[in-house]
């Protein structure tokens, strides 16, 4: 058995031990070891992790003398550090949420740290007389960061049988393939086709149910060649129609001006 005692060391308390000839005092040894182990618990173990700091660059007098340019107009709640640089020819300052920088001379910079506990709209301005009235002001939006939009994939198999009205003079094997990825309202698409009766004059996304004819809502190409790809910015209504399966792709030719091959767009599974 060993006896233990505490003694001060350079980096804290240490245990000094020596052999025991009897079991007497064993409870004291256990108590000392328990104290030592408890004392080594990291001090920060019970602390809540600090909120990450957001950095915002502010340029005064840009794009003109009485304007501010911010590197971002929306920030999450928490601490925001503003680095303000005066790029103009007059002294300016920067105030937001009741706090402001020193008066910054041309070519100089200042840092301002502000903690935003609540989401909301926070006006900022230059407090030098007349500068805010001249346009040196704005609004910073504070809130939780928006989640990145999820990419959704779509596809359509184009053929003669789906086209309305039924095309004439088509060749065997006339077909095509449309694929797309929707991220938010941005649609990135790719179209291929082959064995058409002649040159493809146009291709578009139309809005209508399967077997029905509807108006074109997105022009994909004119004087089309295969393969063809591009992007389109959709409205909320067009996104809704796409997700509900209420859109189709149609490719027109010289012989079939209303459309030669068509495919209903569906979300990929």
Question: What pLDDT was estimated at residue 51?
Answer: 56
Q: Please give the helix or strand (H or E) that residue 33 lies within, else none.
A: helix 26-39
Query: Which of 119, 142, 165 is the last residue in one of the domains?
Result: 142
Q: Are residues 169 and 263 in the same domain?
A: yes
What CATH number corresponds to the domain at position 62?
2.60.40.420
Question: What pLDDT was estimated at residue 222?
Answer: 96
Position 248 in a domain: yes
Position 48 in a domain: no
Q: Are residues 164 and 259 in the same domain?
A: yes
How many domains does the chain divide into? 3
Q: Are residues 70 and 133 in the same domain?
A: yes
Q: What is the pTM of this model?
A: 0.51
Q: Are residues 157 and 138 in the same domain?
A: no
Query: Structural domain of residue 126, as residue ranges?
Result: 54-142
Q: Are residues 156 and 208 in the same domain?
A: yes
Q: Are residues 188 and 256 in the same domain?
A: yes
Query: Which of 121, 142, 163 is the last residue in one of the domains?
Result: 142
Question: What pLDDT was estimated at residue 109?
Answer: 97
Q: Are residues 108 and 20 in the same domain?
A: no
Average pLDDT of the residues of the chain: 85
Q: Are residues 23 and 74 in the same domain?
A: no
Low-confidence ranges of the chain (pLDDT < 50): 1-50
Q: Are residues 12 and 87 in the same domain?
A: no
What CATH number corresponds to the domain at position 210?
2.60.40
**Which stretches does DSSP call E strand in the chain?**
2-9, 12-19, 54-60, 68-70, 74-75, 78-86, 95-96, 99-100, 109-116, 120-125, 137-142, 151-159, 175-183, 186-194, 200-207, 216-224, 228-233, 247-253, 261-264, 266-267
pLDDT tens, position by position, 186-208: 999 999 999 999 999 999 999 99
Question: What pLDDT was estimated at residue 148?
Answer: 75
Q: What are the φ/ψ torsions at residue 34 (nearest 5 degrees)? A: -65, -45
């Amino acid at each position: 058995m060993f006896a233990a005692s505490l003694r001060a060391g350079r980096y804290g308390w240490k245990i000094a031990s020596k052999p025991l000839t009897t079991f007497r005092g064993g409870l004291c040894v256990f108590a000392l070891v328990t104290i030592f182990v408890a004392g080594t618990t990291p001090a920060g173990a019970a602390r809540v992790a600090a909120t990450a700091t957001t950095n915002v660059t502010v340029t005064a007098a840009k794009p003109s003398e009485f304007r501010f340019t911010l590197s971002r107009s929306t920030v999450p709640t928490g601490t925001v550090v503003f680095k303000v640089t005066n790029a103009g020819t007059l002294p300016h300052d920067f105030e937001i949420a009741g706090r402001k920088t020193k008066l910054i001379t041309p070519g100089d910079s200042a840092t301002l740290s502000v903690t935003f506990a609540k989401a909301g709209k926070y006006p900022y301005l230059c407090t030098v007389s007349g500068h805010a009235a001249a346009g040196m002001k704005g609004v910073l939006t504070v809130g939780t960061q928006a989640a990145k939009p999820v990419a959704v994939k779509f596809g359509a198999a184009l053929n003669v049988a789906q086209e309305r009205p039924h095309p004439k003079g088509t060749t065997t094997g006339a077909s095509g393939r449309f694929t797309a990825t929707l991220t938010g309202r941005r649609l990135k698409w790719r179209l291929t086709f082959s064995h058409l009766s002649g040159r493809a004059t146009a291709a578009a996304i139309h809005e209508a149910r399967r077997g029905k004819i509807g108006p074109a809502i997105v022009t994909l190409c004119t004087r089309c060649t295969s393969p063809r790809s591009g992007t389109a910015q959709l409205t909320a209504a067009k996104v809704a129609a796409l997700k509900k399966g209420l859109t189709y792709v149609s490719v027109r030719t010289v012989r079939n001006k209303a459309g030669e091959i068509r495919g209903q767009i569906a979300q990929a599974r």
